[in-house]
C-alpha cells in the first residue's frame, strides 16, 4: 500500500473516531463541573479512615491497592523483558571494556557536566528518599520517589562514567533489590490474608495524628517498597541500555 | 472553555496517530506513541477537575475544602511511570530489529516473513 | 486567573504535540519531547495535580530522553 493511500485511509479512520468521540463528549458534564460521587466521598472520608492527609497516595495504596500491585508488576516485567530482549545475537561480542575502563573511542564527558552532576547526586538522593517515605503526608509517594532515586543514579553515570555506575549498582544487587521491593508489596498483602483479613487490608496501627510520618498503617510501608522497586527497575533498564550502547559490538559488516 | 480541554485531547491523539501511521523511523514512531499516551493523561485529569478546587492534600487546609478528584490522579500517576518502562522495552525491540533486519523503516520491515 | 492559565497551557500542549510529531529527525525530536514533557508537567500543575507533575517531570525530562538517546546512539553506530 503506497504512502498516500495509507494517509487517506488514516484520515478517514480518524474522522470516524473523532466523530464518535465528539458524540460522546456531548454527554459529559463540561470541564470544571465534576459531578461524580466517588471523588467527593473519598475526599470526605479518607483522612478520617486512614489518617493519611495525602489522599492520592491513600487511593493508590489502600483504596485501589490491588490496581497498584498490577501496575508494579508491569514495571517488573518490563525490566525483565529489557534484559531478555537485549541479549547478544550470534556474531556479537562484548568489547573488553568494563574491567579496564571503557576504550578510547568513548567520548569523554566535559568537566563542567561531570562536576555539576556530582554536586547534585546527594541532594537528589535525599529528595527521592524523602518522597518515597512521605507518601501519606504531602504530594509524594512511591512512584515519584523511585523515579527521582533512579535519576540520582543517572547523575552518577554522567559524572563518573560507566565504570562508576556499574560499581555502585551491580546487576546482581539491583536485581535483588527490585525483587525485594516487588515481593515486599505482595508479601504485605499476603500477611493480611494470613491474619484473616482481605488481601491488602490496612492492619498496621493507624497512628494518632493524621499526616505524621508514622501514621496511616500499611500505606507508608507499601509506598517505601514501591519506591525501592521502581528505582531498581529503572536503574536496571538504563544500565542495560548503557551496556548495550557502549560495550556490545557486532561483527564488521553484519 | 467547558469543552476546550477535550478538544485538545482529541487533537493530540489525532496528531500522534498521524505520526505513527506515516513514520519512517522506528524511534520516531516510539516518540509519537509517547505523545498519544500523554493525551490520555490530559483527559484523565480534565475529567476530574472541579472549578475553584484545590489539590486533594489536607495537611494544612481543613478537611472539607472542595478538592479535585484524587482517583483519576492516582491512575494518571502510575500510568506515567509505567509508560517509561514500556517505552524502554519498545526501544529494546527496535534495537534488536535493527540488528536482525538491518533497517529501522517500518514500511520495509512489514515485508519480512518468517 | 487559573482558567486563563489553563487555556494558554492547553494551547501550548497542542502546539507542542504537533511540533514533536512533525520533526522527523529523531535526535531533534528527543529535545522537542523533553520540552513537551515540561509543558505537560506545568499543565498538570495548573490542573491541581502535584503528584502527577512530579512523575511527569522526572520521567519526561530525564528518563525518557536518556533511554531514547542511548537507543539512537546504538542504532547509529551500526549504521556506520
The SS3 of residue A96 is coil
- The answer for C 29-68 residues in CB contact with A (under 8 A) is 50-51, 53-55, 58-59, 62-63, 66-67
pLDDT at C1 over 80: no
Of B34, B39, B94, the CB nearest to C71: B94
Per-residue pLDDT at A89:
65
C-alpha cell belonging to residue B83: 509508560
Chains meeting C at 3+ CB pairs closer than 8 A? A, B
Using the Cβ of C80 and the Cβ atoms of chain A, whether some distance falls under 8 Å is answered with no
Beta-carbon pairs below 8 A across chains A and B: 161
C-alpha cell belonging to residue B93: 525491540
Q: Are B87 and C64 in contact (CB under 8 A)?
A: yes
Question: How high is the mean pLDDT of chain A?
Answer: 82
Considering only CA atoms, give the Rg of chain C. 15
Asked whether the whole model's pTM tops 0.95, one would answer no
- pLDDT digit string (tens) for chain B, length 114 residues: 778 899 999 999 999 999 999 888 999 999 999 999 999 999 999 988 888 888 888 877 887 888 888 899 999 998 999 999 999 999 999 988 888 888 888 887 776 655
Lowest-confidence range among A120-124, A174-178, A214-218, C53-57?
A214-218
Confidence band of A100 (pLDDT split at 50, 70, 90): low
Q: Smallest CA–CA separation between B100 and chain A, in Å?
A: 8
Confidence band of C44 (pLDDT split at 50, 70, 90): very high
Q: What percent of chain C has pLDDT over 90?
A: 69
- CA A22: distance to chain centroid? 34
pLDDT digits (tens, 9 = 90+) for A190-200: 888 888 777 77
Mean pLDDT of all residues in A92-105: 58
Mean pLDDT of all residues in A203-232: 78
pLDDT at C36 over 50: yes
| Cα(B94)–Cα(C26) distance, integer angstroms | 13
Per-residue pLDDT at B28:
93
Q: What angle do CA A153, A158, A160 make, to 5 degrees?
A: 90
Which carries the bigger pLDDT value, residue A86 or residue C52? C52
Per-residue pLDDT at C9:
94
Per-residue pLDDT at A247:
77
pLDDT at A252 over 50: no
Chains meeting B at 3+ CB pairs closer than 8 A? A, C
Question: Is CATH 1.10.760.10 the right assignment for the domain spanning B4-109?
Answer: no
Per-residue pLDDT at A254:
39
Buried b (16+ CB within 10 A) or exposed e, B45-64: bbbbbbeebebbbbeeeeee
| Cα(A56)–Cα(A63) distance, integer angstroms | 10
pLDDT digits (tens, 9 = 90+) for B93-102: 998 888 888 8
Mean pLDDT of all residues in A76-97: 77
Cell numbers 542511548: residue:
C70
- The answer for C 11-70 residues in CB contact with B (under 8 A) is 11, 13-14, 17-18, 20-22, 24, 26, 29-30, 33, 36, 40, 43-44, 47-52, 55-56, 59-60, 63-64, 67-68, 70
Mean pLDDT of all residues in C5-24: 93
Q: Work out the angle between the directed axes of helices C2-22 and C26-46 (0-180°, nearest 10).
A: 160
| Cα(A26)–Cα(B2) distance, integer angstroms | 11
- The answer for B 41-70 residues in CB contact with A (under 8 A) is 46-51, 53, 55-59, 63-64, 67-70
pLDDT at A104 over 80: no
Amino acid at each position: 500500500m503506497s504512502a498516500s493511500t495509507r494517509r487517506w485511509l488514516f484520515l478517514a479512520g480518524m474522522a470516524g473516531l473523532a466523530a464518535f468521540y465528539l458524540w460522546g463528549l456531548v454527554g459529559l458534564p463540561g470541564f470544571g463541573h465534576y459531578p461524580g460521587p466517588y471523588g467527593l466521598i473519598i475526599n470526605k472520608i479518607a483522612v478520617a479512615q486512614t489518617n493519611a492527609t495525602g489522599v492520592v497516595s491513600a487511593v493508590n495504596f489502600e483504596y485501589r491497592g490491588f490496581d497498584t500491585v498490577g501496575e508494579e508488576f508491569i514495571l517488573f516485567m518490563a525490566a525483565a523483558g529489557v534484559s531478555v530482549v537485549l541479549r547478544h545475537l550470534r556474531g556479537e561480542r562484548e568489547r573488553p571494556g568494563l574491567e579496564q575502563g571503557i576504550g578510547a573511542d568513548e567520548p569523554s564527558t566535559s568537566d563542567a557536566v561531570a562536576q555539576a552532576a556530582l554536586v547534585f547526586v546527594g541532594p537528589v538522593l535525599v529528595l527521592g528518599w524523602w518522597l518515597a517515605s512521605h507518601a501519606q503526608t504531602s504530594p509524594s509517594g512511591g512512584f515519584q520517589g523511585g523515579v527521582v532515586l533512579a535519576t540520582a543514579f543517572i547523575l552518577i553515570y554522567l559524572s563518573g562514567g560507566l565504570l562508576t555506575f556499574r560499581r555502585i549498582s551491580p546487576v546482581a544487587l539491583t536485581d535483588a533489590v527490585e525483587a525485594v521491593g516487588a515481593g515486599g508489596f505482595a508479601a504485605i498483602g499476603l500477611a493480611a490474608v494470613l491474619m484473616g483479613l482481605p488481601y491488602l487490608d490496612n492492619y498496621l496501627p493507624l497512628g494518632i495524628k493524621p499526616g505524621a510520618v508514622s501514621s496511616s498503617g500499611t500505606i507508608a510501608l507499601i509506598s517505601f517498597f514501591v519506591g525501592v522497586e521502581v528505582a531498581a527497575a529503572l536503574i536496571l533498564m538504563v544500565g542495560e541500555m548503557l551496556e548495550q550502547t557502549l560495550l556490545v559490538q557486532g561483527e564488521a559488516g553484519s | 472553555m467547558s469543552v476546550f480541554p477535550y478538544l485538545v485531547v482529541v487533537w493530540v491523539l489525532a496528531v500522534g496517530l498521524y505520526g505513527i501511521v506515516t513514520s519512517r523511523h522506528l524511534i520516531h514512531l516510539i516518540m509519537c506513541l509517547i505523545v498519544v499516551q500523554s493525551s490520555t493523561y490530559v483527559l484523565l485529569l480534565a475529567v476530574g477537575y472541579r472549578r475553584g478546587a484545590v489539590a486533594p492534600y489536607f495537611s494544612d487546609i481543613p478537611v472539607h475544602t472542595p478538592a479535585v478528584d484524587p482517583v483519576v490522579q492516582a491512575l494518571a500517576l502510575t500510568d506515567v511511570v509505567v509508560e517509561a518502562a514500556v517505552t524502554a522495552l519498545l526501544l529494546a525491540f527496535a534495537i534488536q530489529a535493527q540488528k536482525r533486519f538491518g533497517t529501522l523503516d517500518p514500511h520495509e520491515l512489514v515485508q519480512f516473513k518468517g | 486567573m487559573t482558567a486563563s492559565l489553563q487555556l494558554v497551557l492547553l494551547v501550548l500542549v497542542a502546539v507542542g504535540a504537533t511540533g514533536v510529531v512533525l520533526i522527523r529527525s529523531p535526535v531533534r525530536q528527543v529535545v522537542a519531547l523533553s520540552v513537551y514533557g515540561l509543558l505537560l508537567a506545568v499543565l498538570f500543575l495548573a490542573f491541581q495535580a502535584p503528584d502527577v507533575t512530579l512523575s511527569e517531570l522526572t520521567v519526561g525530562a530525564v528518563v525518557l530522553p536518556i533511554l531514547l538517546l542511548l537507543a539512537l546512539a546504538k542504532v547509529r553506530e551500526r549504521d556506520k
